[in-house]
Amino acid sequence: MSAENVEVIVAEKLDPGFCDEIASMPGGGNIRKCFACGTCAAGCPVTSIDDEYNCRTIIRQIQYGMREEVLKSPVIWLCVMCYRCYARCPQQVNFTDIMRALRHLAVKEGYAPVEMLNKEDEFDKKAHQLRREMVKKAQ
Ligand code: SF4
Ligand code: SF4
Q: Is the pLDDT of residue 120 over 90?
A: no
* Residues contacting residue 77 through CB under 8 Å, at least 6 positions apart: 103, 112, 116
User: Which amino acid residue places its CA nearest to atom 4 of ligand 2?
Assistant: 85
**pTM for this one?**
0.86
Between 126 and 6, name the one with better pLDDT. 126
- pLDDT for residue 32: 96
Class of domain 12-112: mainly alpha
pLDDT band at 121 (very low <50, low <70, confident <90, very high): confident
Among the atoms of ligand 2, which is closest to the Cα of residue 95?
Answer: 4
Say how many Å lie between the CA of residue 86 and the centre of ligand 1: 8
Among the atoms of ligand 1, which is closest to the Cα of residue 39?
Answer: 1
* Residues contacting residue 40 through CB under 8 Å, at least 6 positions apart: 55, 56, 84, 85, 86, 88, 89, 93, 95
* Residues contacting residue 93 through CB under 8 Å, at least 6 positions apart: 30, 31, 33, 34, 40, 59, 85, 86
Q: List C-alpha distances in Å: 126 to 10, 44, 51, 96, 120.
A: 38, 20, 22, 21, 10
- pLDDT for residue 8: 66
Q: Is the pLDDT of residue 81 over 90?
A: yes
pLDDT, tens digit (0-9, with 9 covering 90-100), for 51-80: 999 999 999 999 999 999 999 999 999 999
Q: What are phi and psi of 68, to 5 degrees?
A: -65, -45
- pLDDT for residue 2: 45
DSSP 73: -
pLDDT, tens digit (0-9, with 9 covering 90-100), for 1-40: 444 445 667 778 899 999 999 999 999 999 999 999 999 9
- pLDDT for residue 118: 85
Is any atom of ligand 1 closer than 6 Å to the C-beta of 34? Answer: yes
Mean pLDDT of 93-104: 97
Please state the domain extents for the chain.
Answer: 12-112
Q: CB of 44 within 8 A of CB of 84?
A: yes
- pLDDT for residue 7: 64
User: Which amino acid residue places its CA nearest to atom 5 of ligand 2?
Assistant: 44
